[in-house]
Amino acid sequence: MSNIREVARLAGVSVATVSRTLKSPDCVRQATRDKVNAAVEQAGYRPNLMAVQFRSRRTANLVILVPKIANTFFARVISGAQQAAQAAGYRLLLCDTQGREDIEREFADLVYAHQADGVIQLRAYDPFPADSVDTPPMVNACEVIKGGRHPTISLDNHAAAKAMTEHLISLGHRRIGLIKGPQSSPLTQDRVAGYQTALDQAGITPDSAIICHGDFSLRAGYDGATTLLTMPDRPTALFCENDEMAIGALKRIKEMGLRVPEDISLVGFDDIPLAQYCDPPLTTIAQPCEAFGRRAVEMLIDVIETKSTVRQIVILPFTLTIRESTAPPSSSNYPGAGP
């Protein structure tokens, strides 16, 4: 079995230089790093990671708490996080919490047990005690805690929902139904506020009767569309607060014998891959999902390695992606037309 002395002999450097290169490569010249890395490969040397972790009190493990792993949006966030973690020499420990606080606290406790170095939380909940003096490293991404104590990465959901509503208004829609997410979610609150701001600025009085509660699921979109499209004065457009609900709504719209966008315009939020393959392709808000994951990992590693206490706030950009699911309202779908 090869050892560090064999690597030093092959590289033509001291054992101390090999050790420094493996533990702190940025402190070693590139030419030396190249020689040591080549020797490591040639010798088939594998450092004793347990010993390194014991000395440094680091595990190279990062916990990521995901509210719903089956959700396509979160799957893309995880993909970006995994790529960034691997590139930085860290492992990602994935936890599908289903939004349960007890599960989130259990996995966050891995940091206290020195089995992980930090936590990425994708939901607006802090799993660490509020009165803890030394708060473990954590980054809050996607759905963030307003006024929280950790670094955050989010989207301007108010501005994005406002932009989408303004798009529908610009086409001539005045009665725009909204199928929203869970009431407790900051995402829902910001998107509803953006929708209402756009209506207010256009001189349109928001109508609470055409706002349906949902939970970001396919079924919520299906049920919401059923409620809104059986109203005597049904909306001429439906704004779903995520693409999965929009896809559920699209199924119900077709079952009712209506056409998108000829009879009703339909929009979503997230721009999941399936959105562009719907029939018709879905107008939506594109979020940089993979970037959420990458930036969260990079920010968390920075906090871990520099012990920074500065609370960074990063707002990622969105794009209004217009496809074939929106059009001006036709005479047949103005209020009062009925399904």
3-state secondary structure of 212: strand
Q: Do 86 and 102 reside in the same domain of the chain?
A: yes
Residue 240 lies in a domain: yes
Mean pLDDT of 92-110: 92
Residue 26 lies in a domain: no
> pLDDT (tens digit, 9 = 90+) per residue, 50-98?
454 444 467 899 999 999 888 889 999 999 999 999 989 899 999 999 9
Sign of CA dihedral 300, 305, 311, 317: negative
Kindly tell me if the per-residue pLDDT of 184 is higher than 50. Answer: yes
CB 232 within 8 A of CB 335: no
CB 218 within 8 A of CB 247: yes
Distance (Å, rounded) from C-alpha 250 to C-alpha 266? 8
Q: Do 220 and 129 reside in the same domain of the chain?
A: no
CB 104 within 8 A of CB 127: yes
Mean pLDDT of 121-138: 85
The CATH number given to whatever domain includes residue 92 is: 3.40.50.2300
Distance (Å, rounded) from C-alpha 232 to C-alpha 249? 18
> pLDDT (tens digit, 9 = 90+) per residue, 234-292?
999 999 999 999 999 999 999 999 999 999 999 999 999 999 999 999 999 999 999 99
Q: From 240, 285, 241, select the one nearest 264 (Cα to Cα).
A: 240
**DSSP H helices in the chain:** 4-11, 15-23, 30-43, 49-56, 72-87, 101-112, 157-170, 186-201, 218-229, 243-255, 289-306
Residue 35 lies in a domain: no
Ranking 9-13, 26-30, 138-142, 289-293 by mean pLDDT, the lowest is 26-30
CA dihedral 58, 303, 102, 99 (to 10 degrees): -130
Domain range for 89 = 56-155+289-317
Residue 202 lies in a domain: yes
Q: Do 219 and 302 reside in the same domain of the chain?
A: no
Q: Do 206 and 85 reside in the same domain of the chain?
A: no
| pTM for this prediction | 0.79
Q: Do 274 and 327 reside in the same domain of the chain?
A: yes
Residue 22 lies in a domain: no
Number of domains in the chain: 2
Q: Do 85 and 207 reside in the same domain of the chain?
A: no
Q: Do 221 and 328 reside in the same domain of the chain?
A: yes
CB 99 within 8 A of CB 46: no
Q: What is the pLDDT of residue 330?
A: 82
Q: Do 114 and 187 reside in the same domain of the chain?
A: no
CB 286 within 8 A of CB 265: no
The CB-side HSE value for 70 (13 A sphere, CA atoms) comes to 6
Q: Which residues are CB-neighbours of 116 under 8 A, at least 6 positions away?
A: 59, 61, 62, 63, 93, 110
Residue 128 lies in a domain: yes
Q: Do 175 and 277 reside in the same domain of the chain?
A: yes
Percent of the chain with pLDDT over 90: 67
Residue 34 lies in a domain: no
